[in-house]
Chains A and B, each alone.
Chain A
């Protein structure tokens, strides 16, 4: 059983760390895992994405054409990756930066205003954790408790003061996805 998660957005939205925290949690749970970034000459303000694969056996390709789940943190990422999600898969979309409805009926899409939720929690940079919470509510490959433990283990010391806020962000994301996640495809 293999689960592939692609996270895409602008540089600065916490794309790479969101992937890393999934990878840490998977490792701590004794699963096989790979994390691979798109790396290129572009950095600040450019596009960023990473792919996390979680599996029970030796992982082959670290990149897949059709991931199980996609988190699209901005419109260009949605345009590029919505068509790629595996049939029956999950799509988490940052509704704060996207002005169109989902186009696929054969996947489960959650449009969630990540920027607004993060700002309400007091820090715009929490949006990646809100997204991870929403994802795991729809794709229970890891539990929120496992992410919490991974944050405690692996969050850099200087960021430990944001621990509570991160946990709140995860929970808000999960709650939103479970309550209001169903969006009608037009």
Chain B
């Protein structure tokens, strides 16, 4: 198929439809509303279910029920809407039914604003809902990658009976890029042996997240962890740029990752040997890849559009063996490549301590920017 110029939100919606989406449940919120609008137009025309719920709480519970039938289903929202869904997300995790959830992250906390952000990292990657569970989290950095990851999300969700988030941001949702959509897959005709679709002529099945006896819940939790181990072993995805001879490495995901790519090229042009590691799966986290960099590089710079959430996961791998610095923009602000370049120049010139807190050092450096804003 030929490339089309596609807006991220619409590309993600159409990718889901072509991956065999049978039901979409959602509630409008900027900056992902075009996704829901596309679903509203396309899904009924294809004879599939589109439902605009009365709230995000309703949407996630509709999704839960529909997922129990074994159908390919999804919802999408943006940060405050995802917060509202958290109870249902935990129930879905506890019931072990596959769903895909797209979060087009915006500035927060609270109502915040509609600008691009990565402030939901901790909430999505490290839980948000109650209890022990680990969703798979995919972070696209381009419209094409958003398409590919939405399709992958459905396959992974069904393979592991798990929740898969596609965590984008306002930039990915609103940007247009040439991209190729996959061919239309047929709606599946066979459903898994756990699905509840009517029990005529066979023993009934029950799907639930209730395990009244803690012994049973413990068994369930153990099973969830076994699946999570498999996911960690098999599903880490990332992209590397210029790492072969890199003396410094930037780690950034999604929009921050592609901005860091521009900065790394600028640094290379100045003779600073910078490489980039862009995690595509935030969960499972590419810890083995970061581990392999620790012995090879002089320093690591983590760049995020938040106050250093993935930074914690990087530090957990690095364990103070190589200097780590952090640069972030918050609240819907997006860094220019020049800002990241300045950090790379500084790292290549100064001695960065192995101990101390990179976040505290960044806050100190960043204070003048905040004063200048005001």
B-side contacts of A32, CB under 8 Å: 178
Within 8 A of A (CB), among B236-273: 255, 258-265
B-side contacts of A41, CB under 8 Å: 114
Whether A62 touches B178, Cβ cut-off 8 Å, given contacts A23-B5, A27-B3, A27-B5, is no
Minimum distance in angstroms from B269 CB to a CB of chain A: 12
Whether A20 touches B261, Cβ cut-off 8 Å, given contacts A60-B337, A63-B334, A65-B336, is no
Verify if B155 is at the interface (C-beta below 8 Å from A): no
The closest CB in chain A to the CB of B239 belongs to A58
Verify if A36 is at the interface (C-beta below 8 Å from B): yes
B-side contacts of A61, CB under 8 Å: 258-259, 261-263, 336-337
Verify if A136 is at the interface (C-beta below 8 Å from B): no
Contact with A along B1-30 (1 / 0, CB 8 A): 001010000000000000000000000000
User: How far does the alpha carbon of A36 sit from the alpha carbon of B115 in the complex, in Å?
Assistant: 13
A-side contacts of B261, CB under 8 Å: 58, 60-61
User: How far does the alpha carbon of A12 sit from the alpha carbon of B274 in the complex, in Å?
Assistant: 43
**A32, A58, A59, A61: most-surrounded residue (chain B CB, <10 A):** A61
**A34, A35, A60, A154: most-surrounded residue (chain B CB, <10 A):** A60
A63 touches B177 (CB 8 A): no
State the main secondary structure of chain B at its contact with A. helix
User: How far does the alpha carbon of A32 sit from the alpha carbon of B258 in the complex, in Å?
Assistant: 14
The closest CB in chain A to the CB of B115 belongs to A40
A40 partner, pick from B114, B263, B265, beta carbons under 8 A = B114
Whether A39 touches B176, Cβ cut-off 8 Å, given contacts A27-B3, A64-B337, A65-B338, is no
The closest CB in chain A to the CB of B176 belongs to A35
Contact with B along A9-52 (1 / 0, CB 8 A): 00000000000100110010000111111011100000000000
User: How far does the alpha carbon of A130 sit from the alpha carbon of B349 in the complex, in Å?
Assistant: 48
The closest CB in chain B to the CB of A16 belongs to B176
Verify if B184 is at the interface (C-beta below 8 Å from A): no
B-side contacts of A64, CB under 8 Å: 262, 336-337
The contact size tier of chain A is 20 to 34
B-side contacts of A27, CB under 8 Å: 3, 5, 178
User: How far does the alpha carbon of A37 sit from the alpha carbon of B264 in the complex, in Å?
Assistant: 24
A62 partner, pick from B5, B115, B175, B264, beta carbons under 8 A = B175
Whether A34 touches B177, Cβ cut-off 8 Å, given contacts A60-B259, A63-B334, is yes
Verify if B348 is at the interface (C-beta below 8 Å from A): no
B175 touches A24 (CB 8 A): no
A36 touches B262 (CB 8 A): no
User: How far does the alpha carbon of A33 sit from the alpha carbon of B179 in the complex, in Å?
Assistant: 10
B-side contacts of A36, CB under 8 Å: 171, 174-176
B3 touches A35 (CB 8 A): no
B260 touches A62 (CB 8 A): no
Verify if B80 is at the interface (C-beta below 8 Å from A): no
User: How far does the alpha carbon of A60 sit from the alpha carbon of B178 in the complex, in Å?
Assistant: 14
A39 touches B31 (CB 8 A): yes
Verify if B170 is at the interface (C-beta below 8 Å from A): yes
A35 touches B175 (CB 8 A): yes
Instruction: Provide a sorted-by-A list of 8 A–B residue pairs whose CB atoms are within 8 angstroms.
Output: A34-B175, A36-B171, A36-B174, A39-B114, A39-B170, A59-B258, A61-B258, A62-B171
Given contacts A34-B175, A60-B258, A61-B261, 12 further A-B contacts (CB under 8 A): A27-B3, A32-B178, A34-B176, A34-B177, A35-B177, A36-B176, A39-B114, A59-B258, A60-B262, A62-B175, A63-B334, A65-B337
The 3 closest A-B pairs by CB, nearest first: A60-B262, A60-B261, A61-B259
